[in-house]
Amino acid sequence: MNARITIVDLLNAKQQRRPIVAVSCYDYTTARLVAQAQADMILVGDSAAQLVLGHDCTLPVSLDFMVTITAAVRRAAPDLFLVADMPFLSYQTSAADAIRNAGRFLTEAGVQMVKFEVTNAYLDTIRAVSNAGIPVMAHIGILPQWITTMGRFRAEGTTAEAAMELVRTAEQMVRAGAAAFLIEGTAAEVAQVITERSPVPVISCGSGPGCDGQILVAPDILGLATEQSPRFAKAFGDLGIRSIEAFRAYGEAVRTRHFPDSDHSYHMKAGQLQKLEEMLRENR
């Protein structure tokens, strides 16, 4: 029996009004912890560009890099529902490129869904990728890959006109084949309306409690605060402070020669040190 969480499980959770727990993370070690904490979904986000590589936006991250880290996350969390972010220019150039690049995540990294940041201009792309047998999560609301166009981001859907546009966009995305949504930085009331009208699961990223599930990036959850943390992020731990304390304790132990000690060192077999000393004397 396959224990892996599937899209059917997410649809059942939506119908049963059971919140879906999603985490965005980027590495094997963290993904193992997320899996042990019984999350439902991991998204390997292109925010790795900022939180792993230190860039100031998501644009520089490459497709090869994303495929590599996504495969690592799958090895760590074989049973969780796995979604991969399509990085900048991996799908904007053509529908054929989008299918080819999205397919790499399925064949090389074992994902069950790929995420596209989309506007109505990408309906044909979503349709083409979905028709190729690749499930698509449509990312609407704040679109980080559009930072060059937007200049800076603000909450989406805060007026009735803007909200109606998002509702219509979501409906068109479903008709084009979108199998799930991620709504980022959108007014909670609008995200709830979209969720109630949507036949597919809707995950909130800073879009209020009315969606089918919630997602935050692992570093924010753990309290590994960075300057990129959005206002909707919440720390559920203080590992940042505790990590600094641990690194300082390690440094002090090294400087005072308390680490490593005998218990944290390998040793020669009995009698071999004396034999080595004899060999060294003979070779003087």
pLDDT of residue 227: 65
Per-residue confidence (pLDDT) for residue 2, from 0 to 100: 58
Q: Identify whether 184 is a catalytic site residue.
A: yes
| pLDDT value, residue 42 | 98
Catalytic residue, candidates 184, 189, 196, 278? 184
For the chain, give every domain's residue range.
Answer: 7-237, 243-282
- Would you state the pLDDT for residue 137? 98
At the topology level, CATH places domain 7-237 in TIM Barrel (3.20.20)
Model pLDDT for residues 60-70, shown as the tens digit of each residue: 999 999 999 99
The mean of the pLDDT values for the chain is 95
95-109 vs 63-76: helix axis angle to the nearest 10?
A: 30
- What are 194-216's pLDDT values in tens digits? 999 999 999 999 999 999 999 99
Residues of the chain falling short of pLDDT 70: 1-2, 225-228
Nearest-angstrom CA–CA distance, 142 and 150: 10
